[in-house]
Amino acid sequence: MTIMTTAREIMTPGAECVGENETLVAAARKMRDLDVGALPICGEDNRLKGVLTDRDIVVRSIAEGGDPATAVAGQLAQGKPVTIGADDSIEEALRTMTEHKVRRLPVIDGHDLVGMISLADIARALPDEATGRTVEEITQPS
């Protein structure tokens, strides 16, 4: 098996966004329909604003007494999103995931969102030992 070298080669292409002004209920339905646990948050300008996870909806909104029918995805976007360039190496993706302790990375080509890389994508592309080390580093408490 040949190890692929770039983010573009291992990403899941065609990531669908949730709009920054869409409600968390709409985001949750989109996650259900797409069978995913995270969606990129895109602004009115089509620029990436962050990533929304199913856990964000539950822990950062509902558990805090928020109303998912009125709260919008953009309210949960924090800071500058962590991304990887489409032509960056798998090693760079691993370093970025480990450094920021994230399990999913939006893949950007210029300013365009072109896909997402998850730990599952990396697991399919790398030898088991490298994947295991990455998962362990990402999931260890800070």
Q: What is the C-alpha to C-alpha distance for residues 84 and 49, in angstroms, rounded to an integer?
A: 14
Q: pLDDT-based confidence at 14, cuts 50/70/90?
A: confident
Residues sharing a CB contact under 8 Å with residue 37, sequence separation 6 or more, in sequence order: 31, 53, 54, 55
pLDDT at 66 over 70: yes
Question: Could you tell me the residue ranges of all domains in the chain?
Answer: 7-139
CATH of 7-139, one of 1.10.132.20, 3.40.50.300, 3.10.580.10, 3.30.70.20: 3.10.580.10
pLDDT band at 1 (very low <50, low <70, confident <90, very high): very low
- Regarding predicted confidence, which is higher, 78 or 96? 96
- Bridge partner residues of 107 (DSSP): 84, 115
Percent of the chain with pLDDT over 70: 87
Strand residue runs (E) in 28-135: 38-42, 48-53, 84-85, 104-109, 112-118
- What is the pTM for the complete model shown? 0.81
Q: Is the pLDDT of residue 102 over 80?
A: yes
